[in-house]
A and B are shown apart, each in its own frame.
Chain A
């Protein structure tokens, strides 16, 4: 029996943490993820869960402590946003290289310079090459569902990689919406016990982790990480299938919203997918074949599958919520273009930026993007790459 509730994204993730009851959580507050460690601490204080919580003095230490706990054999996690993630940066790479299945609840927020507490994806997109699995949620339900699947994917013997479960700051983390929760017993059975084969506290066999491994070993180590990331693709789909069996909700690498016959499509990550879908519905009423491809899994990057999903789309707008300052597009735009090129796709991709630092992205803005794609398709407009949607000019 599922439980109908009303919750924010942060509440949903905290509730999932309570149900999973992991061994160790280390965290340091930062807006907008602060509520997660607060709520977990409250659950612990009230005897509703028995996770050991470490109130560390910084995010650098929360990731370091989570890493130590995970290596020791514990199921470990942390939560953060923005500069907190930036401060962990160095250790993100260590966690992935050490092959430790730590889970990080990330509440996406713009990186400082200037300080801005609102949502964009500059934090997680900057960490896209750190070796972490990255899965993004559109809403509170997905934030909850993704989190419940996270440890299963991260801890799988073919994977053993850390996992970033991302949701949009404030838009998802703080907005209260309807949600369907699973029974705690169902969650516990689904997630299972964590019993790693090797760990620091294994009294039968000591373990050493974190060596100096120079050029004779480094490249092979990185290749092994890549293989694990590749393996994660199958595991993500297998776990999603099992999750569907207990929840009735199905997940894949992405969600195809009316893309199968679409001439024009928006490709987007996170909460703004909902806004884009509304625009699609409006345009469809007027007979315009529009669609949305919402990317859920960004690492591993499902390039071939995305190209396949876009194969009948003539013009696709790839919307990035993070600058890369290459002056040649954003991370999502670059990678999808590369996937389309390799697939010899006939889909033309146009890369936009939106929602930077929390700038509004409205249904009208999404309609504007579609209109531009249609104008281009009809030969009434030249392609202009890398536009900022909503920029004052």
Chain B
């Protein structure tokens, strides 16, 4: 039975024998452990009173940071959101505002 790669063991201090043969990685989506949210300057903030759950903001996110659950969008994944602001423009109801200093 194939085992998923233990990403915690693979870093810039790992000895050669912990570097996977052929640099192959087993198991998907490990990039989640890398938090690109640190790149962000402006942060999207949602006003749930204005949000109509039209979902137009969800497909336009380049960083898969707006999850949809039971037909409703969830709050932003700020661990990964890079603050591009595309969602703010996609919202026709003014429910998303990009704010600095959050």
Chain A residues with a Cβ under 8 A of chain B: 97-100, 160, 197-198, 202, 204-211, 213, 216-217, 220-221, 223-224, 227-228
Contacts and interface: CB of A to CB of B under 8 A. Distances in A.
B26 to A, nearest CB: 5
Contacts of B24: 98-99, 198, 207-209
Given A220-B16, A224-B17, 6 more contacts: A98-B24, A209-B24, A210-B23, A213-B23, A221-B19, A227-B16
A99 B24 CA distance: 9
B23 A98 contact: yes
A206 B28 contact: yes
A210 B12 CA distance: 18
B71 interface: no
Contact of B15 (A204, A206, A207, A220): A220
A208 B16 contact: no
B5 to A, nearest CB: 9
Interface string B21-63: 1111111100000000000000000000000000000000000
* From B1, B10, B15, B19, residue with most partner A Cβ within 10 Å: B19
A97 B28 contact: no
A99 B21 contact: yes
A210 B20 CA distance: 12
A197 B1 CA distance: 7
A204 B22 contact: no
A162 B1 CA distance: 24
Interface of B: 1-4, 10-12, 14-17, 19, 21-28
Nearest to A98: B22
18 contacts: A97-B23, A98-B23, A99-B24, A160-B21, A160-B22, A198-B24, A204-B2, A205-B3, A208-B24, A208-B28, A209-B23, A209-B24, A211-B23, A217-B10, A220-B19, A221-B23, A224-B19, A227-B16
B14 to A, nearest CB: 7
B12 A216 contact: yes
Nearest to A100: B22
B33 to A, nearest CB: 14
The 9 closest A-B pairs by CB, nearest first: A99-B22, A220-B16, A205-B2, A216-B12, A220-B19, A206-B28, A208-B25, A98-B22, A223-B16
B23 A217 contact: yes
Nearest to B15: A220
* From B4, B15, B21, B25, residue with most partner A Cβ within 10 Å: B21
Contacts of B11: 216
A210 B26 CA distance: 12
Contacts of B25: 207-209, 211
Nearest to A200: B24
Given A197-B2, A202-B2, A204-B2, A209 B22 contact: yes
A96 to B, nearest CB: 9
B4 A217 contact: no
Contacts of A207: 24-26
Contacts of A220: 14-16, 19
A42 B44 CA distance: 63
Nearest to A214: B12
Contacts of A198: 2, 24, 26
A60 B2 CA distance: 31
Nearest to B4: A205
* From B4, B14, B25, B26, residue with most partner A Cβ within 10 Å: B26
A228 B20 CA distance: 13
Nearest to A210: B23
A197 B21 CA distance: 12
A250 to B, nearest CB: 31
A215 to B, nearest CB: 9
A211 B5 CA distance: 14
A186 B37 CA distance: 59
B22 A206 contact: no
Contacts of A228: 21
Contacts of A223: 16
